Structure 1
């Protein structure tokens, strides 16, 4: 079966191509070209992009849920519901993310994830799990439940890996904790991305962590040490180390609230565009109206308030998660940070694909790669989302046959 997208403004690795077309054969991109497509078959599904942008599908490498669902609910329904919601906003691949919890909950998560992945036919593709915690610094816990914070112990993390290694694609932790460097080296040997986050590490500790496998930074600036003073002496923190280590990649919550315009522009000025990825870090209220929601599982999570485009703790003392969707991230980077659309798309397609190690099949419009495609207009309003050649969301006004 072929799906042909014509009259498209294609966002390609080498630049933007107007009046282009893309052909998907079954689940793979089979052809990219310029001008009219040519000869159609009776069985072809033709999509008229009407001059709108056609880009690789968005990849969200850090999300906790959407559409009223949180992955910590630990139900297949939650996984599938969140995947469907994110797909409406252009996400074709995502990495379900946990919160600090008991080991028992994590082990149960692997079973639920495996079942959900098998049943996921009409939502964003699951790339693997992101364990966010439970190995975090107490002072940088953010909205993570402090009851479950602890240091990494081989007996525990080896048990977790024994049950979930084939499902885990990344693991975030504070690298300064006792035992974290050993775990970082172990993850690197298994091809799992080790990421530093919720950390009080000093510059020197981060540079040592980088040598031991920690090559990525979880939500830069959020729950992360910066310049501190101890007995009159100043010390650089994790934020400063992020900029000093050129090859260290970062992810940013580009909702325009977690990081204001000035910080978004600062990141883009002092980190290579190739090493910046966008993520939603969204909780269950993404794609939902304002109000009260539960952050984390319904039975053990905490109440948060969603207002002003972000989730907050009830006392408004801190943010408690994002409610962003992927289209909003791109829009913010273009309209607020002032970067080009091509660079913004790169940050949510090619870059996360490379960082996660899935760039051989995802992240760009190229022949031979997965047919993960999104069509959107000049306002970054999503018209159609295609996952592995299957249209899973459309406004129904662009299908010709």
Structure 2
């Protein structure tokens, strides 16, 4: 049996409140007790962490990330998976969804094998929750930084091969207006794979049909999606408006303070709320790295980008090419820029993504019996410790 980890004197962040002077007891990978300080005396073999003047929160859950620390999951190596996971752990992430980019069929299949091996070897980084496939079924006009040469419509012959090649796919992002997309969404839903609207030119009516076919989530709200448009002089609402109009549709936002300014962060918070809005990094390999040139996608076939102003840009600086955010930055942005209460900003980074991925029975809140995934940080969300299933994977 592992030594217990005892976190004392913490300001524990629960889903709806913060309570001070508590002790969190972790054993065998689970939270075994939450007590007032005076109610608990550590044993001789216990590992004690003093969280005086610091917060104890659930571990951050990132449901959309492409890499970090100089690594991209499309590099197709175990080292890239492990390096990215370890980088994000330093910033409070205890669980993440490795996310692919639009690529060749062979690259995608290779990723599946690499992922399985990385899961076996991942002992120092954030836990892998399964794979998120982003593409290749996207609208050309909303492709963003996705490579256009690989874009296509969903065909059963192809996507059934992909689904048969891996049982690790837990999320798939695609444009629902493409021919065959609604049928594909029903297939994904039948397999309990989160089906997400992304890189789409759909109008509201198409999104509503998609929602009824299982598209319950919207990928990186405001990025690469339609808004109010005209067709033959008539106005139509787009994906953006549909996300607000469909009450039960969940969304994610890249809350780095660059992709969305304060006004839009406030708008999402006000009209979707913390229980329907997850924070995600959507980070590329530049997360946790200094400014300068980088690569979006694989080292071999990726696109050159420039990291500056807290974001990755296309070389001509005409558009953003990706995020370099880490999860601590997302929470910090929501609190300091969007004026969201800390308890709700943390919920958007923990329990809300856990519910979206249907893992909230195990993760997402500090609760007796749940996985001992915890992060300890100060008033400015600077991370001191990251604890995954009762083991310290980052601490200083």
- 1:351 is aligned to 352
User: Would you say the 8 A contact 1:143–1:320 is kept in 2?
Assistant: yes
Shift of 1:236: 0.6
User: Would you say the 8 A contact 1:6–1:37 is kept in 2?
Assistant: no
- 1:398 is aligned to none
With normalisation by structure 1, the TM-score equals 0.97
Shift of 1:32: 1.0
Shift of 1:104: 1.2
- 1:377 is aligned to 378
- 2:157 is aligned to 155
**Secondary structure of the equivalent of 2:305?**
strand
Shift of 1:321: 0.3
Aligned-pair Cα RMSD in Å: 0.7
- 2:243 is aligned to 242
- 1:318 is aligned to 319
Alignment of 1:1-400 (within 5 A): 1-164=3-166, 166-395=167-396
User: Would you say the 8 A contact 1:334–1:341 is kept in 2?
Assistant: yes
Aligned residues: 394
Shift of 1:125: 0.4
User: Would you say the 8 A contact 2:62–2:281 is kept in 1?
Assistant: yes
User: Would you say the 8 A contact 2:15–2:344 is kept in 1?
Assistant: no
1:279 & 1:11 partners in 2: Cα distance? Answer: 20
User: Would you say the 8 A contact 1:6–1:36 is kept in 2?
Assistant: no
Shift of 1:254: 0.1
Deviations 1:4-36 (A, max 9, x none): 000000001241000111000021110112233
Shift of 1:37: 4.7
Shift of 1:303: 0.1
Q: Which runs of 5+ in 1 are unaligned?
A: 396-401
With normalisation by structure 2, the TM-score equals 0.99
1:290 & 1:79 partners in 2: Cα distance? Answer: 22
Deviations 1:225-271 (A, max 9, x none): 00011222111100000000000000000000100001000111111
**Secondary structure of the equivalent of 1:314?**
coil
User: Would you say the 8 A contact 1:254–1:278 is kept in 2?
Assistant: yes
**Secondary structure of the equivalent of 1:265?**
helix
Q: Which runs of 5+ in 2 are unaligned?
A: none
1:48 & 1:26 partners in 2: Cα distance? Answer: 20
**Secondary structure of the equivalent of 1:384?**
strand
Shift of 1:51: 2.4
